[in-house]
Amino acid sequence: ITAKLEHFKDTGIDAVWLSPIYASPMVDFGYDISDFRKIHEEYGTDEDFANLMTKAKELGIK
């Protein structure tokens, strides 16, 4: 997603909705969160998420 943010901005997108991203056993499509302090490994690391938030903020994307 981070790599696509500039494209999103260029096409007029100003917000991104993320489905559950936290650690989960994935019994209920990720809504059965097992750890609210950890990003699910399929979606990257805490650092990846921080980079996504930083880049989105720089581009004015919520």
The pLDDT, as a whole number, for residue 34 is 96
CA distances from 59 to 29, 37, 42, 46, 49 (A): 30, 26, 25, 20, 15
> What pLDDT sits at residue 46?
93
pTM of the model: 0.84
pLDDT in tens, the chain (62 residues): 999 999 999 999 999 999 999 999 999 999 999 999 999 999 999 999 999 999 999 999 99
CA–CA separation, 59 and 24 (whole Å): 30
The per-residue b/e assignment along 49-61, b for 16 or more CB within 10 angstroms, e otherwise, is beebeebbeeeeb
Closest C-alpha among 62, 42, 40 to residue 53: 62
